[in-house]
Structure 1
């Protein structure tokens, strides 16, 4: 920190400053992502899958390439879901006081109660499917979120679980396209930030992908990754491998249920065709019902990917 900068900021003169990388890159570092067989899923407002590798691939069609925190490495990020975990919160708030009262009676938070009840709903939600286009991609602005398959058996917890299943099924599709283009396959998934605190979400990702799902031990993985950059930059650790060994600890592991994985594999084939049928309908209603959404704007979009990236499941 220079004397001039210190006068402007109040930060002590001479303090070492270490440049890190973008938010997703330090999150990946803080989660311990370092091999091409691991898919990191960031379960925040924007939900996306990431992996790492040694090549700059600017012409990829199923993902985009960013610099990783580690020199000479790159972070590959799949297309994802805008308003991802935001949609989960939206439904929680929409369900209102009745669900909140039930949570208080059970001595749980609203989220814990929803996850507990949704875990009792059978996989596949008795046929309820949710496509998470609550915020449409720029190349298809007519799209809307879709919930279909009601037949009277489903209730609020089916709806909640269906959103979680929609997130997992969408990421399975987008991350699968990234894996195909990279010539790799996923040996396990690693889930981080907000949504990873849900055991139900963790189990869904294990069941949908058919490989173990690991929870990041530190919820603020981006903060940890930035600290790891500082540790290497100031010499506290010699290499990023040393920093990862000393600073990243494994979290809980969820193993897939073979029967549930078989069901989600079949269901995923149907799920990926939904937009073929809904797109023509939404194109027509786009001009009839108006183009502006009444849903409040979400938190600012992450800066690590283009705003026009496809969000298709």
Structure 2
């Protein structure tokens, strides 16, 4: 990426993104130029099959250290310009805490799949309508119910049960508070009324007094603690601004602020979404609180994105590369005809979210011949993710009544020219790449800038859309090949038949896994 000009006027903000694998902090100016970046890894714990956890202390320690690092690189005059801190974070993840912030168990993450039985017992259409979330692996409500039923006392005895952003906000300000656009992903939210639902809290086994206070997105939560102001060498205190989940934040960072423009995140998972001024729920999408005050986001989620491509490279690729991108493999896959010569993949390695929301679904590869190679399978995996996305974009368009004209893409998958072209061809839409790597952090920065009225739009201090448009930067556009799109539609029609025909097989495999469970011991305590 070419070096950007730094704005000499206007405020700077610090934006934090605490994700599944790491925490990043950036310093950003009013034009969206990123001045400094810092990153700290977070260890992922897997105490049992389908269990994914973090030590919540790492959420704070990595946040503290990355913010300290980026601020330490600023000149004194530039520290004077720091106007706010914005936050985005992995969604749906949570942990129980004591009042002083001490974790009472490891945090359970969004990708954790332990709560299959709870999903099936409590995941009704009514819960979907109330929360905006279809019954699936990600919402925290079902994993909280699992803890209630399998670890008695853990939730009941906690003073607070909080999302990642809420815990970081507490450490920054001393206030147990979180953004509406962070809290809603837990699945405990009456999303139309923007408040905790007593009915959903009861299912989860938690109480209203254990929840964080709610703050609308792009509103100041509280001032930064004096001891942090001093430790970070700031000449004055600054507000910590209510942020949003990392998926919605990516959309704001891409200035995808109307239903014709969708954000497409080619990350560990693949998700896409559009803005909506009104609330609705639909079996094909999940509805989230937007970072634009008063609005919503219709989002689709595919659990296996660059994770699946990386899994292939690590398990079946060049062992010397340890799963890293392989130009030779990309070149070989690019030489394979579209459709992978009859090899078709169902990419449900991590269950399926949109549109089936089935926690026991599994992956499949169908159509093997002796002439197929590793490159065929790799291309088939990439194509399958594109087929699923086109199917899911259809769901979004049905809900909004608006045809999507452009995809704005971010995430590690955008670095693959082959994958970008396959996604454009299967979707039949142009894909414009966002320049900034830390696109979710940029979205949080846009909310922080809006909170302090940095862009003077005349719409008040919380005009997030104006800040998003002022701060977004775009790179190349990959145009779809219309003839290949027509060919891919035929292949996708065959691929779409696989899930209904394998659904009963997935149920049988789930029964076997319950009958013969993993013997790896669980570890509910807080782990280093």
Same fold (TM > 0.5): yes
Shift of 1:133: 1.3
Residues 1:19 and 1:257: Cα distance change in structure 2 (over 3 Å): same
- 1:19 matched to which residue of 2? 242
Aligned residues: CA RMSD: 2.8
Query: Which of 60, 70, 74 is 2:282 aligned to?
Result: 60
How many residues were matched structurally?
287
- The answer to whether 1:206 aligns with 2:206 is no
- 2:302 matched to which residue of 1? 81
Q: What's the TM-score once normalised by structure 2's chain length?
A: 0.50
Query: Which of 271, 282, 290 is 2:506 aligned to?
Result: 282
- 1:194 matched to which residue of 2? 412
Flag the structure with higher strand content.
Answer: 2
- The answer to whether 1:175 aligns with 2:393 is yes
Contact 2:443 2:468 in 1 (8 A): no
Contact 1:30 1:224 in 2 (8 A): yes
Q: What's the TM-score once normalised by structure 1's chain length?
A: 0.82
CA displacement 1:162-195 (0-9 Å, x = unmatched): 1111111111112211211221222122221111
Shift of 1:157: 1.1
- The answer to whether 1:118 aligns with 2:333 is yes
Shift of 1:67: 1.6
Shift of 1:141: 4.3
C-alpha distance in 2 between matches for 1:81 and 1:63: 11
Flag the structure with higher helix content.
Answer: 1
Query: Which of 255, 258, 262 is 2:486 aligned to?
Result: 262
- The answer to whether 1:34 aligns with 2:250 is no
Unaligned 5+ segments in structure 2 are 1-172, 174-221, 457-462, 521-528
- 1:7 matched to which residue of 2? 227
Contact 2:339 2:488 in 1 (8 A): yes
Shift of 1:48: 1.5
C-alpha distance in 2 between matches for 1:217 and 1:279: 40
Shift of 1:118: 1.4
Residues 1:293 and 1:132: Cα distance change in structure 2 (over 3 Å): farther
- 1:133 matched to which residue of 2? 348
* Partner SS state of residue 341, structure 2: helix
Shift of 1:241: 4.2
* Partner SS state of residue 19, structure 1: strand
Residues 1:215 and 1:292: Cα distance change in structure 2 (over 3 Å): farther
Unaligned 5+ segments in structure 1 are 104-108, 297-313
C-alpha distance in 2 between matches for 1:155 and 1:266: 22
* Partner SS state of residue 175, structure 1: helix
* Partner SS state of residue 18, structure 1: strand
Larger Rg: 2
C-alpha distance in 1 between matches for 2:488 and 2:390: 10
Contact 2:343 2:367 in 1 (8 A): yes
Residues 1:293 and 1:46: Cα distance change in structure 2 (over 3 Å): farther
Query: Which of 406, 422, 440 is 1:222 aligned to?
Result: 440
- 1:252 matched to which residue of 2? 476
Contact 2:431 2:478 in 1 (8 A): yes
CA displacement 1:110-144 (0-9 Å, x = unmatched): 43332222111111111111111112259644422
Shift of 1:207: 0.6
Higher mean displacement: 47-56 or 67-76: 67-76
